[in-house]
Amino acid sequence: MSAKTLNAKAVRRILCRRTGSLLRADNLSAATPSASENQSNLTELKGNMIATFQVHKQTYGHWPAKNGKSAGESFDLDLIDMSVPAEHAYRGVLPYRLSPEEKDKYWGKVERKNIQVAVHEIQTTQRGPVLRGHIIAVNEK
């Protein structure tokens, strides 16, 4: 089925299936748009998904060199989805790995604060979902 032939209901079903509860069907208009509007809605959601999370805690991880791989470290924020209404929010904690630039800017400064994240990807790993994106703003609540 090509993107041009998808109706609004099919787009909502595909998006919900691919991304879980973080991207819900209510982000699309309730009216049934034309095929070209479906494509623009899909493109708009892919490029502009901004979600609000609360930073639950910060997690530092490090590992030694092993099997020819170099040692490493990670700086992660464990996030709680603050979607409204709350019954539609993701119920688990999502890890978000800070980039080196974000580490300098946010590490140690955002715990228990709300942040807005431009979500680029939600990866599924053996340890659960992992959020990939970019921090847009920190709300000083």
Beta-carbon count within 10 A of 34 CB = 11
Q: Once rounded to an integer, what is the mean pLDDT over residues 64-78? A: 92
Same structural domain, 73 and 117: yes
Please report, for the domain that includes residue 132, its CATH number.
2.40.50
Is the same domain home to 28 and 63? no
- Please report which confidence band the pLDDT of residue 49 belongs to, taking 50, 70 and 90 as the band edges: confident
- Mean pLDDT along residues 54-58: 95
DSSP assignment letter at 40: H
Are residues 97 and 115 both part of a single domain? yes
Distance of CA 66 to CAs 26, 63, 70, 75, Å? 46, 9, 7, 20
- Structural domain that includes position 85: 50-139
Look-up: residue for tokens 């998006």? 15
The whole model's pTM is what? 0.62
The reply to whether 61 and 32 lie within a common domain is: no
Residues 20-41 have pLDDT tens digits of 444 443 343 334 444 444 444 4
Whether residues 25 and 64 fall in one domain: no
Opening angle at CA 44, ends 40 and 48, nearest 5: 175
pLDDT at 4 over 50: no
Both 81 and 104 in one domain: the answer is: yes
Total domain count, the chain = 2
